[in-house]
Amino acid sequence: MIEQILHIEIEKCLSELYSAEKQSIQFQKTRKEFVGDITLVVFPLLRSSKKGPEQTAEEIGSYLKEKVTEVSDFNVVRGFLNLSISSDFWFNQFLLAYKTTDYGMVKLDATAPTYLVEYCSPNTNKPLHLGHIRNTLLGYSVAEIIKASGKNVKKVQIINDRGIHICKSMVAWKDYANGETPESTGIKGDHLVGKYYVEFDKYYKKEVSELVDSGMEQKQAEKEAPIFLKAQQMLIKWEDKDEEVRVLWEKMNEWVYSGFEVTHKRLGVDFDKNYYESNTYLLGKKVVEIGLEKKVFFKKEDGSVWIDLSAEGLDEKIILRSDGTAVYMTQDIGTAIQRNEDFGFSNMAYTVGNEQDYHFKVLFLILDKLGYDWAKSCYHLSYGMVDLPTGKMKSREGTVVDADDLMQEMVDTSKSIAKELGKLEGMSDKQADELYEIVGLGALKYFMLKVDPKKRMMFDPKESIDFNGNTGPFIQYTFARIQSLITKYNSEILDLKLVDINKEEQTLIKQILDFPNIIQEAAINYSPAVIANYTYELVKEYNSFYQNTPVLNEENVDVKRFRIALSETVSSVVKNAMKLLGVEMPIQM
């Protein structure tokens, strides 16, 4: 707002002082070591003034101080004009924010473009793990942020429910489970299926080792291990719609879906539409035929279908295997086309780890070559992997950090720390359990999302749940403190009168007023980290204000009401910001 006002007034100033029109006017935040709220970069204006930077800045500053009520003072530092904005302006801007419901959020217009955000997209051969947690939290948060920026957003996922990896779990269950079910074992469905994915790998390694010991080459042994051949045969039968295989497949998938639903509910994420690879790969195979006719694809002697992208600096990529079975690319082509038919999206973001960067370059190129204009509006939200202090995870070896176990560990840790710090006074057991859940999962979500998505990250559960520093619990505690303050005031603020505001109050107001821009920046960059770190800085600034400025003990009633209203607005912005990260805020802590 102040930039818009100053832009208009500076244009008038340049016209009056130097007879200049349509100049490049550049603002930046005033550096902390200098006095001022906003800085005008004077150097681009020297052509019009035909004077030195200091003199030009002095002349513009004097003009603005005299003619513009919002400008209370100025100073010049090496050709930079630092402008101080009046206390009245900041108070009135705060008043607008205070009175605006969901300040910073843009209301959805019916004509707003539709953005699709894909995330999670698990395989039905194992439970969700730590990697899925970063993926899912990132995708969900990005969707919520884009929605808050004024776009129509649909959250989608592709369930990878077919393929050789799915058949591996099926073969192992059929051969070694003796009819085990989630009901008979008490094991969550996705965990039970994952157990047999690990079992497959154990038997597979054993058989490969036996074949190598008998004199077979390692690579040949890996292809000819009996259990692997069974999985391959099962995949072919599945694609041929063999009834027995399909019944087993549907049964085991249902176990997994039930398990996923429990995990997603606890994690607090949702989807508008699920797509299934078992459906979309068929559309993908049809498109392959069209691509062959258009000579976008070509067949090799063994019958496999490929695309040559050497002209684009890439290489050849397989689209269909020689036995006619589909690869990931086949179903991704079909899924993208189906989604556009369903939603007519303007943009689509795929939340997938950076090990798939090449895959998505190829996918978008293929869609473009097939003639789909919207391919240029597809975006790969490429994120770094999650490391643990204990090392890398491997699903088939059973060394993954299970999502359900991790969530429970976070809640248990929250409980332990809360008891140590004595933060449970006056709470019933039910309230305490709810608090453990809110704090534990809030710590997990915030820690995952405060890191730039592009960066590889180390997740340390103990560090994430610290009540000090850049963590979810630190922000939650400040929010709860403000709720306590508001409750103690116990009086409705009907009207706020103009008061002089001090430097710390002004800094807080400026940070509050930044929130709408922060949402837009986070949406443009697909980065929840922008929201997370903004919130941390706001909370830090509030804590400094609270420690150095009397609120409830302030004698001037008008100032007290203003400070309560300022605290309330900070808590509202914090709550909305954390909601965009999927983090719930406790009233008491």
What does pTM read for this prediction?
Answer: 0.91
pLDDT digits (tens, 9 = 90+) for 134-171: 999 999 999 999 999 999 999 999 999 988 999 999 99
What is the model's pLDDT at position 390? 65
Domain boundary among 85, 117, 149: 85
Angle at 517 between CA 565 and CA 476, to 5 degrees: 50
> If pLDDT is split at 50, 70 and 90, which confidence band does 394 have?
very low
pLDDT score of 462 more than 90: no
Residue 115 lies in a domain: no
What is the model's pLDDT at position 589? 80
Beta strand 347-353 pairing with 114-118:
parallel
Q: Enter the tokens of residue 527.
A: 């980065």
For 248, the domain range is: 165-271
Domain boundary among 85, 108, 143: 85
CA torsion through residues 316, 321, 322, 324, sign: negative
pLDDT score of 484 more than 50: yes
- Mean pLDDT on 64-68: 96
pLDDT score of 516 more than 50: yes
Residue 151 lies in a domain: no
- Mean pLDDT on 551-564: 95
- Mean pLDDT on 22-44: 92
Domain boundary among 69, 85, 101: 85
pLDDT digits (tens, 9 = 90+) for 260-271: 999 999 999 999
pLDDT score of 399 more than 60: no
pLDDT digits (tens, 9 = 90+) for 333-347: 999 999 999 999 999
- The domain tally of the chain equals 3
Strands of the 305-308 sheet, one edge to the other: 298-299, 305-308, 316-320
Q: Are residues 173 and 57 in the same domain?
A: no
Q: Are residues 54 and 175 in the same domain?
A: no
Rg from Cα positions in the chain:
30
Residue 53 lies in a domain: yes
What is the model's pLDDT at position 24? 87
Angle at 454 between CA 451 and CA 460, to 5 degrees: 40
Q: What residue has token string 């060394």?
A: 399
Q: Give the HSE-up count for residue 75: Cα atoms under 13 Å, Cβ half-sphere.
A: 9
Q: Are residues 445 and 544 in the same domain?
A: yes
pLDDT digits (tens, 9 = 90+) for 67-86: 999 999 999 998 899 999 99
What is the model's pLDDT at position 559? 96
CATH of the domain at 490: 1.10.730.10
DSSP helix/strand/coil, 28: strand
DSSP helix/strand/coil, 85: strand
What is the model's pLDDT at position 395? 41
Residue 565 lies in a domain: yes
Q: Are residues 179 and 267 in the same domain?
A: yes
pLDDT digits (tens, 9 = 90+) for 83-127: 999 999 999 999 999 999 999 999 988 888 999 999 999 999 999
Task: Determine the length of the chain.
Answer: 589
